[in-house]
Amino acid sequence: MVPRLTTALTGPLLELERRILDNDTLVERWLRTQWLEHTPPFYTSVDLRNAGFKLAPVDTNLFPGGFNNLNPAFLPLCVQAAMSAIEKICPEARNLLLIPENHTRNQFYLMNVARLATILHRTGLNVRIGSLLPEITAATTLDLPDGQKLTLEPLKRIGPEGRRLGLEGFDPCAVLLNNDLSGGVPELLQDVNEQFMIPPLWAGWHVRRKSLHFAAYQDVAISFAAEIGIDPWLINPEFEVCGKVNFHERAGEECLAANTDRLLQRMRARYQEYGIESEPFVIVKADAGTYGMGIMTVKDASEVKNLNRKQRNKMAVMIDRYVVGGFYRVNTARGIDENLNAPGMTFKPLAFETGCTLPDAQLDPDAPPNRFYAYGVVARLAMLAASLELERAAPTEQ
């Protein structure tokens, strides 16, 4: 079952989807040639917002959660894409260490970790989970609601000089982070230089800035839009950046107010141009960090009550450069919050029932296979932006 968003079936979005469908060969080839120059992240998830007249990424996560929310029918796609990714990064790998977030009570997240471990195991890797949690002092097996089991083991330094990460009796050649390092790089992970670290440490939120990602995305959106002849605004989220903002010390509020005004004015002009009735709104986010940290919405009270808009979050999950599936997040409780993994949250994932790779020219642009194809294309643009962002952020000695 897929939510029907009636407003999304009219206006500019249909034109955008039609343009993407009519140019699908061009789109695929353009993306393929981009990947000749840029290396896709090992895995990515992208939150898309479909406003009905505009389709754009709102969050690009390099430590994706939500594999457990994908349609199980897509599992073979995940395995095949993971084989391709492993082959490129560490083809000789035998043992892989997966380091998750420090959630032990968040069943949603733990089911995601278990599913991810299953996918990686299927590529021919011994996969074990190394926990950063001090309370995990011995192998601890958790029974998950979906019947999966997950064994967390204490992460430790190994090797003659202690420059490797491992577990008791487990020396991995590759380490896969599913921990976004929002709190910085734990000492235990520092100065590890004998193993593949995937993704690189500078993909963590202690280094990443949303403003740099969306700047990179803007470059991608402009050249893609030129390629298929659309207005980049239809796929590009407008943004402005402020420096330090501290709501308690009331620092930076002027910048925030001014930028919000500037954005709202630009948007009103565009809405007029496209004859869009809706009232524009701005999402204020911290430039670093995930989990909807410091998120607020600047819009009319009427908008706050509009649950339809709250249903318009899509999540597309990618491994290597392949879109392996997606799901809707229907969250009446926290509609504008991109937070997928917060403990106790109430969103209900609705897996896409068809894939994102098989548009059908015989169907309408808004038929699920075609709409999902458009979602997959925009999600891949965001992934491409993330790879530009990581290239720009890479330490010069790398």
Which residues form the interface with its own copies (CB under 8 A)? 24-33, 35-36, 73-77, 79-81, 83-84, 86-87, 91-94, 121-126, 322, 355, 357-358
Minimum CB distance to its own copies, residue 18 (Å) = 18
∠ Cα 295 273 214 (to 5°): 35
List the strands of the sheet with 348-351, edge to edge: 55-61, 43-50, 313-319, 322-330, 348-351
DSSP string across 14-30? HHHHHHHHHTHHHHHHH
Give 191 or 360: the residue with its C-beta nearer to its own copies. 360
Give 95 or 259: the residue with its C-beta nearer to its own copies. 95
- CA distances for 39 relative to 62, 193, 347, angstroms: 13, 21, 33
Give 52 or 326: the residue with its C-beta nearer to its own copies. 326
Give 66 or 376: the residue with its C-beta nearer to its own copies. 376
Tokens representing 58 are: 């709102």
Minimum CB distance to its own copies, residue 23 (Å) = 10
Give 116 or 336: the residue with its C-beta nearer to its own copies. 116
**Residues 211 and 239 sit within 8 Å (Cβ to Cβ):** yes
Minimum CB distance to its own copies, residue 319 (Å) = 10
Minimum CB distance to its own copies, residue 81 (Å) = 7
Minimum CB distance to its own copies, residue 262 (Å) = 38
Residue labelled with tokens 């530009």: 388
Minimum CB distance to its own copies, residue 299 (Å) = 38
Peptide bond connecting 199 to the previous residue in cis, omega within 30 degrees of 0: yes
CB crowding 137-154: b at 16 or more within 10 Å, else e: eeebebebeeebebebbb
Minimum CB distance to its own copies, residue 203 (Å) = 23
- Of 384, 386, 395, 394, nearest to 27 by C-alpha is 384
Minimum CB distance to its own copies, residue 56 (Å) = 23
Give 143 or 249: the residue with its C-beta nearer to its own copies. 143
Minimum CB distance to its own copies, residue 76 (Å) = 4
**Residues 10 and 360 sit within 8 Å (Cβ to Cβ):** no
Give 3 or 124: the residue with its C-beta nearer to its own copies. 124
**How far is Cα of residue 65 from the mean position of the Cα atoms in its chain?**
8
Residue labelled with tokens 């996560």: 61
Q: How far apart are CA 56 and CA 13, in angstroms?
A: 11
Sign of CA dihedral 379, 281, 216, 174: negative
Give 120 or 264: the residue with its C-beta nearer to its own copies. 120
Give 24 or 240: the residue with its C-beta nearer to its own copies. 24
